[in-house]
Amino acid sequence: MEFDENGEAVDPQGRRGFLERFIHAEVYRKRPDAMAVVHSHSPSVVVFSITKIPLRPVGHTSSFLYKGVPVFDIRSVEPASNMLIVNNKLGRALAEALGDASVVLLRGHGYVVLGDSIPNVVSRAYYTEVNARLQRDAMTMGSDIVYMSDEEGRHTSETVEPGMDRAWDLWRAEIGPIN
């Protein structure tokens, strides 16, 4: 389906759009560098949205998290919401919380990630979940954790992300044709 800049279907043809399409509309409006946006409810990431422990890059494939991972609490806009981003006002507040980062968490709900292409954003969505698992596992081991520095994150993402096309090709081959 094609949507306009406010998240409304251009020609719905009787189809019902996704409830949370306003996430995409407002992230695209706020971030001209966003060429693709993924919203996910991936469970390991949600854990970091309900605790005060920030999600930080611990593995090289998730180095793009070095810009920080803010948490958007919908309660700051709607005291008694249904937890979903169902209008432009909530979408705008979420996009504000995202700021210049690549990923923003939605408290008790999921996360939103942007990228410069569909392969890039799918890879980022997947490796955000992987990072959450790694960081959570490390936290159970009772040792201090060595996080990636901002400089390491920037250098690593510049080097590693262009090569993620290979993972995209493998994922596509694994899934096969989509009708």
Residue type present at position 45: V
C-alpha triplet 174, 175, 179: angle, nearest 5°: 150
Q: Are strands 71-72 and 36-40 parallel, antiparallel or unpaired?
A: unpaired
C-alpha distance from residue 109 to each of 46, 49, 128 (Å): 6, 8, 15
Catalytic site includes residue 8: no
Give the other-Cβ count within 10 Å of 67's Cβ: 16
> Binding mask 123-152 vs Zn ion (x if CB under 5 A, - otherwise)?
------------------------------
Closest to Zn ion by CB, 22 or 64: 22
Q: List the beta bridge partners of residue 105.
A: 71, 111
Q: What string marks each residue from 82 to 111 as x (binds Zn ion by CB under 5 A) or -?
A: ----------------------------x-
What is the nearest approach in angstroms of Zn ion to the Cβ of residue 29?
Answer: 19
- Which residue in the list 2, 5, 8, 20 is annotated as catalytic? 20
Site for Zn ion in 107-126 (CB under 5 A): 110
**Contact footprint for Zn ion (CB under 5 A):** 20, 110
Give the catalytic positions in this structure: 20
